[in-house]
């Protein structure tokens, strides 16, 4: 019983809901062993001096289901970023992982490696050579020659190569298969059309199911979204409803119905789209007409995401940090964007705890305050379930039962 800790606070969000009344969370080493109302905890664990966080909420550590740790998020051009050696990108990944953890993200899913950098990073964290969150890895995302993120070295030319790469990343320890199903921000790729034939999408799902792992698809057009859902993908990333000419609607009802029916998790990455807008506003750069157009498109997408939430589609928070001008440590900006889209705060908190844990097949370990789960916690001042922006600052981060103390100096978000 030596390892027992008893944490208590004014409010608790357990991953599903706000608990009624004060509760105690009992930790034994790296595990949560009990979550009890105060009076019951007094009886059962009265002998343990409680650690009390006055005016705070205890919640599960956040899960960020979509990030790119090897990317700086400082607006660098792709040629500059990917012109760097892997050793530099590994250090970039380490710094980003630290920032994530300090911000309260205790489980970080990386959706875009180059070569095997993130596997090395995770190994370094696991053997104690580096400090970082739990890492869920996709390895290299599959793409086509000169397609989106080709510079991550996951180019495949046919079904046999797609299957081979899928097997390779799983053999290296990937937890999820990521495929760039449509083009994207990479110059020369086409965001408005699928990159792969349906047969390759199906082959990817088959390989992942064989390995017992989930699948995630980067998509930004209607045809591609319908195809990946039909093929059986578990997570739709971005999911912006463009037609083949690039016209954007907020919602494609057919895709939404399919997603609902198939139990697809929706990762809309609303903040990364807005990070460009905010960057333009802050720096006073860019054409005002372009800015207005970007804002209008963002509002349209946000409205579509709200409608999908209301239909019952699980909306999960993955920030796409590292991309564009979206720096690490700002996962909360995605939560803010989801609230601004019209999703209630408590649902957004579930969308960054239990729901992404489920989507990634990690809910047996993380995502909620429940006995048997890992003691990954974030303690936030005030009531983040009423004001989501409070998640911008963690009063305390606990990873596997240990307090994370990284100082605040390198977290620079306002
Ligand atoms: Zn991404």
Q: Which two tokens stand for residue 250?
A: 């907020």
Q: How far is the CA of 272 from the centre of ligand 1 (A)?
A: 9
What b/e string do you get for 200-220 counting C-beta neighbours within 10 Å, with b at 16 or more?
Answer: bbbbbbebbeebebbbbbbbb
For the purposes of burial, counting CB atoms within 10 Å of the CB of 221, is it exposed (0-12), middle (13-18) or buried (19 or more)? buried
Q: How far is the CA of 178 from the centre of ligand 1 (A)?
A: 9
Read off the pLDDT of residues 49-58 as tens digits, 9 standing for 90 and up.
999 999 999 9
Of residues 282 and 139, more confidence is placed in: 139
Flag whether pLDDT at 405 surpasses 80. no
Q: Strand 31-37 vs strand 23-28: parallel, antiparallel, or unpaired? A: antiparallel
Q: Which two tokens stand for residue 110?
A: 């990386």
3-state DSSP assignment of residue 210: helix
Which of 133, 161, 165 has the alpha carbon at shortest distance from 64?
Answer: 133
Q: How far is the CA of 30 from the centre of ligand 1 (A)?
A: 31
Q: How far is the CA of 342 from the centre of ligand 1 (A)?
A: 23
Could you tell me which CATH class the domain 4-60+364-404 is placed in? mainly beta
Domain(s) of CATH 3.20.20.140: residues in the chain: 62-359
pLDDT of residue 377: 98
Which of 166, 173, 194, 200 has the alpha carbon at shortest distance from 182?
Answer: 194
The DSSP result for 232-246, as a single string, is T-SEEEE--EE-TTS
Q: How far is the CA of 185 from the centre of ligand 1 (A)?
A: 10
Q: Which two tokens stand for residue 221?
A: 């057009």
Give me the numbers of helices (H) and strands (E) for the chain, helices first please.
Answer: 13, 16
Flag whether pLDDT at 275 surpasses 90. no
Q: How far is the CA of 177 from the centre of ligand 1 (A)?
A: 13
pLDDT of residue 408: 55
Flag whether pLDDT at 336 surpasses 60. yes
Read off the pLDDT of residues 57-79 as tens digits, 9 standing for 90 and up.
999 999 999 999 999 999 888 88
CA 401 vs. chain centroid, Å, equals 22
In eight-state DSSP terms, residue 392 is G
Residue 132 Cα distances to 53, 66, 214, 321, angstroms:
24, 16, 23, 16
Which of 216, 294, 225 has the alpha carbon at shortest distance from 253?
Answer: 225
Q: How far is the CA of 297 from the centre of ligand 1 (A)?
A: 19
Quick one: pLDDT band at residue 2, thresholds 50, 70, 90?
low
What is d(CA 166, CA 339) in angstroms, rounded to the nearest whole number?
35
Domain(s) of CATH 2.30.40.10: residues in the chain: 4-60+364-404
Flag whether pLDDT at 129 surpasses 90. yes
The answer to whether 413 and 330 have CB atoms below 8 angstroms apart is yes
What is d(CA 314, CA 337) in angstroms, rounded to the nearest whole number?
16
What is d(CA 48, CA 5) in angstroms, rounded to the nearest whole number?
7
Q: How far is the CA of 175 from the centre of ligand 1 (A)?
A: 16
Q: How far is the CA of 218 from the centre of ligand 1 (A)?
A: 7
Residue 357 Cα distances to 167, 243, 336, 375, angstroms:
23, 31, 20, 14
Flag whether pLDDT at 257 surpasses 60. yes
Q: How far is the CA of 56 from the centre of ligand 1 (A)?
A: 32
Percent of the chain with pLDDT over 70: 97
Q: How far is the CA of 257 from the centre of ligand 1 (A)?
A: 24
pLDDT of residue 3: 84
CA 365 vs. chain centroid, Å, equals 16
Collect all residues with Cβ–Cβ distance below 8 Å to 291 and sequence separation of at least 6. Answer: 277, 280, 281
Read off the pLDDT of residues 365-398 as tens digits, 9 standing for 90 and up.
999 999 999 999 999 999 999 999 999 999 999 9
Mean pLDDT, range 106-116, rounded to an integer: 95
Percent of the chain with pLDDT over 90: 90
pLDDT of residue 392: 96
The DSSP result for 64-110, as a single string, is EEEE-TTS--S---HHHHHTS-HHHHHHHHHHHHHHHHHTTEEEEEE
Q: How far is the CA of 58 from the centre of ligand 1 (A)?
A: 29
Residue 410 Cα distances to 33, 331, 352, 390, 413, angstroms:
33, 15, 23, 18, 9
pLDDT of residue 185: 87
Flag whether pLDDT at 413 surpasses 80. no
Q: How far is the CA of 400 from the centre of ligand 1 (A)?
A: 27
When the pLDDT of each residue in the chain is averaged and rounded to a whole number, the result is 95
Mean pLDDT, range 323-343, rounded to an integer: 95
Which of 184, 295, 290, 197 has the alpha carbon at shortest distance from 246?
Answer: 184
Could you tell me which CATH class the domain 62-359 is placed in? alpha beta
Q: How far is the CA of 116 from the centre of ligand 1 (A)?
A: 17
Q: How far is the CA of 370 from the centre of ligand 1 (A)?
A: 30
Q: How far is the CA of 290 from the centre of ligand 1 (A)?
A: 23
Flag whether pLDDT at 412 surpasses 70. no
Q: How far is the CA of 396 from the centre of ligand 1 (A)?
A: 28
Q: How far is the CA of 46 from the centre of ligand 1 (A)?
A: 47
What is d(CA 78, CA 307) in angstroms, rounded to the nearest whole number?
34
Which of 49, 44, 56 has the alpha carbon at shortest distance from 377?
Answer: 56
What is d(CA 183, CA 181) in angstroms, rounded to the nearest whole number?
7
Q: Which DSSP helix (H) or strand (E) runs through 171? A: helix 159-171
Quick one: pLDDT band at residue 279, thresholds 50, 70, 90?
confident
pLDDT of residue 414: 46
Flag whether pLDDT at 286 surpasses 90. no
Q: Which two tokens stand for residue 352?
A: 């960054």
């Amino acid at each position: 019983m030596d390892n027992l800790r008893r944490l208590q606070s004014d409010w608790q969000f357990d991953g599903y809901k706000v608990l009624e009344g004060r509760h105690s969370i009992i930790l034994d080493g790296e595990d949560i062993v009990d979550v009890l109302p105060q009076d019951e905890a007094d009886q059962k664990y009265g002998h343990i001096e409680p650690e009390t966080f006055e005016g705070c909420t205890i919640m599960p550590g956040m899960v960020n289901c979509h990030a790119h740790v090897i990317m700086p998020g400082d607006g660098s051009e792709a040629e500059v970023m990917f012109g760097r050696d892997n050793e530099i990108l590994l250090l970039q990944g380490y710094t980003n992982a630290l920032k994530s953890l300090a911000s309260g993200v205790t489980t970080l899913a990386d959706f875009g490696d180059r070569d095997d950098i993130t596997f090395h990073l995770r190994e370094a964290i696991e053997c104690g050579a580096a400090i970082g969150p739990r890492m869920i890895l996709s390895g290299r995302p599959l793409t086509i020659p000169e397609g989106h993120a080709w510079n991550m070295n996951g180019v495949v030319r046919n079904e046999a190569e797609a299957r081979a790469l899928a097997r390779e990343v799983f053999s290296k320890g990937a937890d999820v298969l990521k495929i760039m199903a449509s083009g994207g921000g990479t110059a020369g790729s086409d965001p408005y059309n699928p990159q792969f034939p349906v047969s390759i999408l199906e082959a990817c799902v088959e390989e992942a199911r064989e390995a017992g792992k989930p699948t995630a698809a980067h998509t930004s057009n209607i045809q591609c979204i319908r195809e990946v859902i039909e093929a059986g993908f578990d997570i739709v990333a971005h999911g912006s409803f463009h037609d083949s000419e690039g016209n954007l609607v907020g919602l494609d009802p057919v895709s939404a119905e399919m997603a609902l029916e198939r139990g697809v998790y929706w990762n809309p990455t609303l903040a990364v789209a807005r990070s460009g807008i905010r960057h333009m506003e802050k720096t006073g750069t860019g054409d005002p007409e372009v800015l207005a157009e970007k804002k209008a498109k963002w509002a349209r997408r946000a409205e579509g995401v709200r409608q999908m939430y209301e239909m019952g589609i699980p909306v999960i928070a993955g920030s796409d940090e590292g991309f564009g001008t979206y720096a690490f440590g700002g996962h909360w900006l995605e939560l803010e964007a989801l609230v601004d889209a019209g999703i209630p705060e408590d649902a957004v908190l579930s969308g960054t705890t239990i729901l992404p844990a489920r989507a990634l097949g990690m809910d047996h370990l993380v995502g909620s305050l429940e006995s048997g789960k890992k003691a990954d916690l974030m303690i936030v001042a005030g009531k983040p379930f009423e004001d989501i922006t409070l998640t911008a600052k963690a009063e305390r981060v606990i990873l596997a039962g240990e307090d994370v103390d990284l100082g605040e100096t390198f977290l620079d978000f306002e």
